[in-house]
Amino acid sequence: MANMFFYTILVILVLDYMLERMLAYLNSTYWSLQLPKELEGIYDKEKYSLSQRYEQSKQKFTFILSTLTLMVMIFMLMAGGFAWIDAFARQYTHNPILMALIFFGILGFVSSLLSLPFDVYHVFVLEEKFGFNRTTAKTFILDRLKGLLISIIIGGGLISLIILIYESTGNYFWVITWAVITFFMIFMSMFYSNLIVPLFNKQKPLDQGPLRDAIEQFAVKVGFKLNNIYIIDGSKRSKKANAYFTGLGMKKRIVLYDTLIQDHTIEELVAILAHEIGHYKKKHTLMGILLSTLQTGIMLFILSLFIRKDNTLAQSLCHAVSGFSGLEIKQSFHLGILAFGLLYSPLSFILGLILNRISRKHEYAADRFAGIQYDQFAMMDALKKLSVNNLSNLRPHPTYVFFYYSHPTLLQRLHALEKEVKVETHNA
């Protein structure tokens, strides 16, 4: 059975890579340096040509990165790299928690080292070439160090707690773990902006003035209690603009990138915020948490069937990632969960497709809310400006959109809003 798991993992990795390459190729067939007719009035010819070159550069980068990632994974599996790291950890401790921390710590450290040149290239070469990068070397280094520290504290803490639950409760560990992870997700949803964001960015309340007045007036109009409107210094890393809604209850807040304020009119900014408020009013935020919780529960339940103690299935899972190392492999939580994660990826992929479809539906609904409750044309102008300023690919292949996009394309969103305008005009 171990051999079956081993070869299944290899097949999954290769098929996933082939699907990614096929979709990337399909997407490339829609590229054109000539401005398509449907994009006239959105892009000018020069800007559109730049967006296509940006898309091509990103795809070449992704191709190299994904190919090397596949090669490293196949090498680690066949050479028994994971088994060697497991054996190294066992030299120093037999405590399952400490073994897992050493095991995942080494994997994380090596992975960070291998990805470092690609991260540097992406930020300081690719993004710099197309005028987006504003990250300094100091900021880049500090971001990496802070990210590492957060991974050690939060990631290490969660792994330790989950293994402790596993060792203490046996077959029912998935129920308690599900409750712990659900609590953690809700906690982070409420306090992420207070605890994590300040480590990387400065946030300050939006000053009194025409923009805040316009936002507050709209919030009152739609019955949305909003006290927390913040500006974040996104410009310290990139020229790209964004806005997001976070938190629940009294902790909910809307965050605007400073780059967004620089590039958009007050009407466009209120339309963007109306879209974010629409997600909350339509209960998309709550639904997203519930769906994530359900997905986590499904994954943990299936995991519990595979890694039960003193189970031949669990032992086979651990052997599946030992490759041809020839080492004596003992059952362990960390090897089992690694192998399970690789085997579970097809089901995770399918669930991701479902969640993306739901997400796209929610985006249409939030656009409609902003169009009806505020201004369709301001929303359309904001979407156009956001897409053009970020050099977004406005003509992705439909199959590529189906597999990867959590948002509808710009043209799809504009057509939906235009239809809404016609309906409103007709009703008037």
Full DSSP string of 318-341: HHHTSTT--PPP---HHHHHHHHH
Q: What is the pLDDT of residue 428?
A: 45
Using alpha carbons, select from 314, 286, 331, 254 the residue that is nearest to residue 99: 331
Is it the case that residue 410 has pLDDT exceeding 60?
yes
Q: Which residues pair with 133 in a beta bridge?
A: 238
Report pLDDT for 173.
Answer: 87
Q: Are 403 and 16 in contact (CB under 8 A)?
A: no
CB contact at 8 A, 350 and 295: no
User: Structure tokens of 404?
Assistant: 């990867």
Is the predicted pLDDT of residue 398 greater than 60, yes or no?
A: yes
pLDDT at 21 over 60: yes
List, for residues 329-369, the tens digit of each pLDDT value: 788 888 889 988 889 999 889 999 999 999 999 999 999 99
- Across the range 12-16, mean pLDDT stands at 94
Q: Find the mean pLDDT for residues 296-319.
A: 83
Tokens found for residue 428: 């008037």
**Domains, the chain:** 2-190+281-427 (no CATH), 203-278 (3.30.2010.10)
pLDDT of residue 266 exceeding 70: yes
Q: Which of 3-7, 109-113, 302-306, 322-326 has the highest mean pLDDT?
A: 109-113
